[in-house]
Amino acid sequence: MAINLKIIIFVTILKGELMQYTNIRFDKNHNVEFYKTLQKRVRGYFKENNITRYGDWRMVLKTIVMLLTYLLPFVLILTVLENSWLVFLMWVIMGVGMAGVGLSIMHDANHGAYSKNKKVNSFVGYVLYLTGGSDAMWRIQHNVLHHTYTNVTGMDEDIDPGKVMRFSPHEKRYNMHKYQHIYAWFLYGLMTIMWITVKDFKQLYRYKKMGLTQTQSSSFNKLLVITIVSKILYYVIFLVAPLILSPVAWYVTLLGFITMHYIAGVILGLIFQPAHVVPSADYPLPDESGNIKADWAVSQLINTANFAPKSGWFSWYVGGLNFQIEHHLFPNICHIHYKKLSKIVKKTADEFNLPYVSEKSWAAAISSHAKMLKKLGQQDTM
């Protein structure tokens, strides 16, 4: 896995100061033996078992199941269903399917872990367009920023939801944050609604200024055209078409469309945020020279948490992202291997006296996240 941490970008840090073109670096002389040892053991696992780190027939089967869960109800809406309640139920199922497509298919593909064939990864990664998103913007936010700078304030956009919520102890606290542990759950539902409307465009212009669009081997103008055209096609297919073809009232279709996105947003929010915005996280910060006094891999351990490791069906649906530690340490390995790799990671972490946080259930992880939201909303310093 390439871990090139010398990415030149703009970054806002404490006190709102702007460090232009800062070279953020993790300390390569701090606890580096952990990751070297872990990488060696993981390579050994694949070699000894004579298996590939990519996906296999299980990913193909999952792709079919998830796409059918998302698209089959839509076909029924357009063709045979006339009862408003049944149509609305189909939109609800589509919301579950949409989240599943993102978690279990698109995610691996855009990490290059679905297949050893790059063209296959690119093609499968395009399914994000079926949900109204942009694969290029997703890769920049998720692969470049979140995975490289996990929980680094001003760098990791996953902990920067704007002023309405406070996900980092290094961000300014407002009075409304006292109640974020109550209202955050409702706002999570707006996640994909923001994607299909304004977020991708805002990110595109911001990433252009930061020089990050270059990481996608495409010009800004080309990315802009693709984003505009894909949004238009998405709305025509998934909103205009059912408004015209479905016999139910227009407001049932509109409510169903919004509900679909809201359900997907809630699921995604409750999978990703309980893995990072938790009491065990330490939120590292770079010094004035851009140096972070921690090894990258160790920082991933500290700022990431697993949950529900024994839940087979749940892990299947969320694309192994309940094993977030393994995913962050080895994002280019397909999630079907995470459960077995988790034993190797935990054993190695224990040997080096490093933390390995894993909640027994998804409910416990959400509870832990809620406690952190409350703490961040009530305390200026942690």
* 3-class SS letters over the chain: CCCCCCCEEEEECHHHCEEEEEECEECCCCCHHHHHHHHHHHHHHHHHCCCCCCCCHHHHHHHHHHHHHHHHHHHHHHHCCCCHHHHHHHHHHHHHHHHHHHHHHHHHHHCCCCCCCHHHHHHHHHHHHHHCCCHHHHHHHHHHHHCCCCCCCCCCHHHCCCCCCCCCCCCCCCHHHHHHHHHHHHHHCCHHHHHHHHHHHHHHHHHHHHCCHHHHCCCHHHHHHHHHHHHHHHHHHHHHHHHHHCCCCHHHHHHHHHHHHHHHHHHHHHHHHHHCCCCCCCCCCCCCCCEECCCHHHHHHHCCCEECCCCHHHHHHCCCCCCHHHHHHCCCCCHHHHHHHHHHHHHHHHHCCCCCCEECCHHHHHHHHHHHHHHHHHCCCC
| Alpha-carbon separation of residue 199 from 10, 42, 45, 216, 371 (angstroms) | 19, 37, 40, 18, 28
pLDDT at 3 over 80: no
Residue 346: which of 325, 328, 330 has the closest Cα?
A: 325
Residue 362, class by beta-carbon neighbours within 10 Å (0-12 exposed, 13-18 middle, 19+ buried)?
middle
Looking at residue 382, its pLDDT comes to 59
pLDDT at 198 over 50: yes
Q: What is the mean predicted confidence (pLDDT) over 326-355?
A: 97
pLDDT at 144 over 60: yes
Pick the residue with more confidence: 82 or 3? 82
Q: What is the mean predicted confidence (pLDDT) over 79-108?
A: 97
pLDDT at 282 over 90: yes
pLDDT at 54 over 70: yes
Query: What mean pLDDT value characterizes the chain?
Result: 92
Q: What is the mean predicted confidence (pLDDT) over 102-119?
A: 96
Residue 294: which of 146, 152, 156 has the closest Cα?
A: 152
CB count within 10 Å of CB 274 equals 24
Looking at residue 269, its pLDDT comes to 97
Looking at residue 6, its pLDDT comes to 35
Please give the model's pTM, rounded to 2 decimal places.
0.91
Give percent of the chain with pLDDT exceeding 90: 85
Tens of pLDDT, residue by residue over 227-241, are: 999 999 999 999 999
pLDDT at 22 over 70: no
Report the alpha-carbon distance of residue 283 to residue 17 in Å, rounded: 18
Looking at residue 280, its pLDDT comes to 96
Looking at residue 58, its pLDDT comes to 96
pLDDT at 364 over 50: yes
Looking at residue 191, its pLDDT comes to 95
At residue 303 the predicted structure's pLDDT band, cuts being 50, 70 and 90, is very high
Q: The tokens 């679905």 sit on which residue?
A: 114
Answer positive or negative: Cα dihedral of 224, 95, 124, 312: positive
Q: What is the mean predicted confidence (pLDDT) over 187-209?
A: 95
| Among 149-153, 209-213, 252-256, 309-313, the least confident range | 209-213
pLDDT at 310 over 70: yes
Looking at residue 17, its pLDDT comes to 30
Give percent of the chain with pLDDT exceeding 70: 94
